[in-house]
Amino acid sequence: MRWRKWIGGLAVAAGAMALLVALLPFAFAELTMVAARLETNIMPAPANPAQFRPLPGRAAGAVVDGHWRVEQIAPGTWAIGEPAADPDNYEYLLVGTRRALLIDSGATRAHDISRAIAGLTKLPVTVIPSHLHHDHTNGLGFFRDIALIDLPETRARAQGKEVRLGRYQFARPDPVDFTVTQWIRPGETIDLGDRSVTILSTPGHTTNSISVWEPAGKRLYTGDFLYPTTLYAFVPDSSLSTYVTTIDRLLAMLPPDTRLYGAHCCRNDAPPQAPWLSTVDLEDTRTAIKRIQSGDLEGRGFIIRRFPVNSQMTLLTLYPLANR
């Protein structure tokens, strides 16, 4: 029967299409990895490249060990930049009276961030990755005390305490393995001695992304969830709808004058310094994503698409079919 053949053919085509769409984020993760190896950028160029250049002038902070740019941003609080890493990573060190917390471990295994920290505190240091991408976890091997957000997916990665990073979690071949010494529940408060911070689950860039909230200083350390320049919302487990849910939660709880410190540099209205944003930038990101979802924000690029957010940010995401 001819019509049966037609229906069969259509079903196969629909199935193949669904499979293709489901695999697109992984295909493009592979493509970006190959492109990174070839030092080729497959992302659409920004409409205005000057938007991502810091103002000329002396960078804030002091260079330590020829690699780290160490800048005090508040009492007992340091931003540790890596201008040589691409794109310019920032880690944060929070020192209490009894212990210190390091947010992210460094972008490269070639430089040991604990040597830069040794000049700032002698207290025991716990490191917590903001998420599991390579440029946040590469330095974990330099630490003994490693905390990790306690989610079903991170627990599932741990065999006993040993965590094995998947290819797409790490976003590069050759992931590091590490041993977790502390599991931190979402919303759990860590006491550093006369100073406490709360670990928030803030999915969007990845499902296991965290932000560290310090109410006393009105500072939120956002990792790759939010920072000036270009947000990556196209990796396999990033999600636009999750971004919106998380932003709504943050806007409901944060004082309006909170400073948000991200994991990549730089602002375009100052010489290089710790990359900070405000709750208005959170609102702008929400507005931009809602407009991307409704199709009335114009982007550039074909599969990986770049959308404007505001004067400090753009956002990269995928072709609409592969967005969630």
Measure Cα distances from 160 to 141, 148, 163, 168, 178 in Å.
18, 13, 8, 21, 11
**Shortest Å, Cβ 235 to Zn ion:** 7
- Nearer to Zn ion by Cβ, of 192 and 227: the residue is 227
**Shortest Å, Cβ 298 to Zn ion:** 26
Beta-carbon neighbour count of residue 235 at 10 Å? 23
- Nearer to Zn ion by Cβ, of 224 and 284: the residue is 224
**Shortest Å, Cβ 216 to Zn ion:** 27
- Nearer to Zn ion by Cβ, of 29 and 146: the residue is 29
Subset of residues 44 to 103 that bind Zn ion, contact rule: CB under 5 A: none
> For the chain, what's the residue count?
324
CB 263 within 8 A of CB 222: yes
**Among 12-20, 44-52, 92-100, 219-227, the segment contacting Zn ion (CB under 5 A):** 219-227
- Contact status: 224 vs Zn ion (CB under 5 A): yes
**Among 2-10, 13-21, 138-146, 218-226, the segment contacting Zn ion (CB under 5 A):** 218-226
Which residues, listed in sequence order, are joined to residue 214 by a DSSP beta bridge? 219
**Among 34-42, 104-112, 129-137, 253-261, the segment contacting Zn ion (CB under 5 A):** 129-137
- Nearer to Zn ion by Cβ, of 208 and 273: the residue is 208
**Shortest Å, Cβ 131 to Zn ion:** 6
**Shortest Å, Cβ 204 to Zn ion:** 11
The only residue of 99, 111, 133, 157 in contact with Zn ion, by rule CB under 5 A:
133
- Nearer to Zn ion by Cβ, of 135 and 192: the residue is 135
Place of tokens 């695999």: 23
Distance CA 296, CA 303 (A): 17
**Shortest Å, Cβ 136 to Zn ion:** 6
- Contacts with Zn ion by CB under 5 A: the residue count is 2
| Joined tokens for residue 200 | 């928030």
What is the amino acid identity at position 122?
A: K
Q: 208: Cβ–Cβ under 8 A, 6 or more apart, which residues?
A: 131, 132, 149, 151, 153, 154, 169, 201
Q: 266: Cβ–Cβ under 8 A, 6 or more apart, which residues?
A: 52, 53, 54, 88, 228, 229, 272, 273, 275
The footprint of Zn ion (CB under 5 A) covers: 133, 224
